[in-house]
Amino acid sequence: MKIGWDLVTRKEYFLSSWKSDDDPSEGEYFLRIVTKGYPQFFTFKGSKKIFRGGSWNGVGFSGYPTHQLSQYRQRFLMNDKQVFLECDILDKSIVSIYKLRASGLGQTYAWTNQSNTRNVISTGVQDECERFALCGANSVCILDGNLPTCECLKGYVPKFPEQWNISYWSNGCVARNVKSDCVNGSSSDGFWKYTEMKLPDTSFSWFNEILSLEDCRNKCLENCSCTSYSNLYVLDGGSGCLLWFDDMVDMRRFTQGGQDLYIRVPASELDNGRRKKMMLIIGITVGGIIFGLTCACALILRKRGVARFIYRKHYESILKKEEIYLPTFDFSVIVKATQNFSSCNKLGEGGFGPVYKGTLTNGQELAVKRLSKNSGQGLEEFKNEVVLIAKLQHRNLVKLLGCCIEEEDIMLIYEYMPNKSLDNFIFDETRRHLLEWPKRFNIICGIARGLLYLHQDSRLRIIHRDLKTSNILLDANLDPKISDFGLARTLLGDQIEANTTKVAGTYGYMPPEYAVRGHFSTKSDVFSYGVIVLEIVSGKKIREFSDPEQCHNLLGYAWRLWSEGRQLELLDEALGERFTPSEATKCIQVGLLCVQQRPEDRPNMSSVVLMLNGEKLLPNPKVPAFYIERDTIPELDALLENCMSRNEVSITVLEAR
């Protein structure tokens, strides 16, 4: 089948999804070629663009690195009569079908002559950077581990810095307040080269198949509205010309397989860049000398065994002082188990550092949490993690198996959770369908039991302080286990609350009394739990959802539906009609009770467990805290502008007011 346009008859050939997995009528997702500007293909949800495959570069589309296209032969036909994409499989022993699923994700099925088994070889969108215009205009999306990060292009700055600082990027970047001298096609402007790029949206572009790259550069300089240029095609060193005008949208940087893009910047920006480059060279030279001397000293210490002794004794003293027996793993064993910390074994990354999957020679699987050199966490968080979780035993808490200390390398070894974290399921367009209602309800109840143990039944009264979906791990049966106790605090005796001048946690999950005044208690975790419950029920992220009708976040949206008696409309559409209404209503009500403004209005976890498992009439919730979108809360905005972390990485150094 072709995808594209017959320009003579104006007939379009496109791909549409089913309405649902069981209903083959036309759904709301479409895969189509858009001919405005230089043609490119998009995935639409109704009329809204949600993914852009990019423009044709002679080998494939710029939205897909060329190394991913080796199993297909693609042809893009473009003339005054037609614009079509055709695709053939090079291996004729394979039969393949590409399907646009009801969820909007593409999926490729394949059969071979040797087997009648159907294999899924592609599942469409793979990461957050593939969301159309995630970073807004004049900004590049870069994947840092599993998390997206947006960076303004050279010569541009965030349009709204206060939003940018809390990872709200959709308003993008604007040109720095530096005047260009471009007049009547004469300019001293230059260009900054970006490599391995997904080229910007070509809807407002001009192209020529003949011009060389140098001619393309000159063509851009002649037009004061031209903002960037690139080769049209990548074969044989590149050919053709593609120009962009005004804002550049929907760019990302690949690790390999992308294209070169040249961004127009004023001459002063280039001079500044050269000065910075020179300073960098000088800094590297001086730093190299210092580093060499440092390494020489460190080598002497290492030969004498001093460094290893100091670090090992430093951490072993913690274990001895706290009367903890924790098995230690040899560094060489962990290196072998993780294949030398291979990126293929990397499970994710948090505030402590990266986490790797490891497999011992006996087949036992491990999760290795390695302290990053750039981490803001260290001795205090290591102590917390070891002291607290080593003394805890509960089916809904992750199990700490041991540690590994090798000079400055510090690692904690946990049981391996094959299904990773909860956020990888409930916020993923494919995996969320695997979380049917009984599983979701089981996860909600399991987290509650784990928190009850921390707050009441363990030998210590523990406040987690960083409870969120990414810190809830799922085992092979999708049972939840609370993890990451690096920021946890203990309360002594009958103490139920405390204050701190160092607020730690993640925006969206922090209650108001803690975010603003540094006041924490068991009710702080209750608030975080309530947010998680509403996320599990709805499949929506607290930090990304916005009520389409009013200026409400997820909490406000849930409250509005509840007060209007339409609470079941909050449920994740992936559930369809497959849920128990009474249980779903109960969970929404419990979630709203847990996110009340005043701590005293929130239930404790023993009450939550009873509510979830009993049949008693529950109290009615009040208006939740932080129910309006963050941009409309002046006091919180002032705090966030100065202190809040990017993405969903835990905050460890906020000063409370």
According to DSSP, the β-strands at 346-349 and 354-359 are: antiparallel
- Give the SS3 label for residue 82: strand
Is 466 tagged catalytic?
Answer: yes
Cα distance between residue 591 and residue 557, in whole Å: 13
Q: Is 202 left (phi over 0), alpha (psi -120 to 50) or beta?
A: alpha
* Sign of the Cα pseudo-torsion (506, 511, 514, 516, in order): positive
Q: Which one is catalytic: 201, 250, 466, 572?
A: 466
* Helix axes 522-538 and 605-613, enclosed angle (nearest 10): 30
Cα distance between residue 484 and residue 391, in whole Å: 14
Q: How far is CA 217 from CA 45, 112, 269, 633, in A?
A: 36, 48, 18, 47
Q: Print the SS3 string covering 28-40.
A: EEEEEEECCCCCE
Question: Are 172 and 137 a contacting pair, CB within 8 Å?
Answer: yes
Q: Where do we find the tokens 């949800």?
A: 45
According to DSSP, the β-strands at 251-253 and 139-144 are: parallel
> Any idea what DSSP says for residue 631?
G
Q: Report which of 532, 613, 605, 537 is spatially closest to residue 570, judged by C-alpha positions.
A: 537
* Sign of the Cα pseudo-torsion (264, 270, 276, 277, in order): positive
Cα atoms in the 13 Å half-sphere on the side-chain side of 62: 29
* End-to-end Cα separation, the chain, in angstroms: 62
* Sign of the Cα pseudo-torsion (79, 82, 83, 87, in order): negative
Q: 172-175: long-range contacts at Cβ-Cβ below 8 A with a sequence spacing of 24 or more?
A: 172/135, 172/136, 172/137, 172/138, 172/139, 172/247, 172/249, 173/136, 173/137, 173/138, 173/139, 174/137, 174/138, 175/138
Question: Are 597 and 624 a contacting pair, CB within 8 Å?
Answer: yes
Q: Is 395 left (phi over 0), alpha (psi -120 to 50) or beta?
A: alpha
CA 614, distance to chain mean position in Å, is 37
**541 class by beta-carbon count within 10 Å (0-12 exposed, 13-18 middle, 19+ buried):** middle
Q: Would you state the structure tokens that stand for residue 341, as one six-digit string?
A: 């910390």
Q: Mind telling me the catalytic residues? A: 466
